Amino acid sequence: MAQLKKARHEYLERVKMFMDKLEEADLFNEQNVARVCIHEAGHTLILWFLRGSEKFLEICVVPDPDGDYDGYTASEPRAESTRSQMMAEIACYYGGKIAELLFCKKSIGHGDDMRQAKKLARKLAGVEANPTIRSARRQVKLILDEAEELAETVLIPREKMIKKHERPSGMAPCQIGSDHSQEKAAGEFCWPAAPTPL
């Protein structure tokens, strides 16, 4: 119990230092928050509308220690997946990049997403490809291209939905999970639980 209390106190001190740093240096950058919101909205729309996607849990934009903002979109992972479900998961990794390209004309926050997409594509190619390295690389590229196209088929027709969520000013304090049982730290933004997919 004492360790939990100490950890909580240290976390709150870090949040306070971060918020003080924002006020002093005026590091709050509304354009960056908007970009992160667009990026995370792209992932979320894939989860909502692409058949075979994992169940959406939450989306949050959080301050990081550098005075910048970052985001994450959480979904409920599966123990095992079919090929189409794995393709939907890879497409979800492309959602943020494509949303940023649609609205910001460039994407700067997709590096980790692409690493995860390639990792999953390699896993899928290992199941599908014949054993030669050249063939496996070609198969990974084909899988990634197919997943990117899947993401585009979801996001391009839904540009207005992404645009609607670009500003954090209308967001409520962030909640953990869809049951809204715990509030998150100051400076975080969150969308409410997902609507039922169409």
For residue 60, what pLDDT is reported?
A: 82
Which SS3 state, helix, strand or coil, does residue 55 take?
strand
The parts of the chain modelled with pLDDT lower than 70 are: 1-29, 67, 127-132, 161-198
Q: Read off the pLDDT of residues 82-113 as tens digits, 9 standing for 90 and up.
A: 999 999 999 999 999 999 888 888 888 778 99
The model carries a pTM of: 0.66
The span from the CA of 183 to the CA of 43, in Å, is 23
**Number of C-alpha atoms within 13 angstroms, CB side, residue 186?**
11
- Please state at what angle helix 133-155 crosses helix 111-128, rounded to 10 degrees: 120
Give the CATH fold of the 2-190 domain: Methane Monooxygenase Hydroxylase; Chain G, domain 1 (1.20.58)
For residue 161, what pLDDT is reported?
A: 62
21: left (phi over 0), alpha (psi -120 to 50) or beta: alpha
Catalytic residues: 40
For residue 80, what pLDDT is reported?
A: 86
For residue 176, what pLDDT is reported?
A: 30
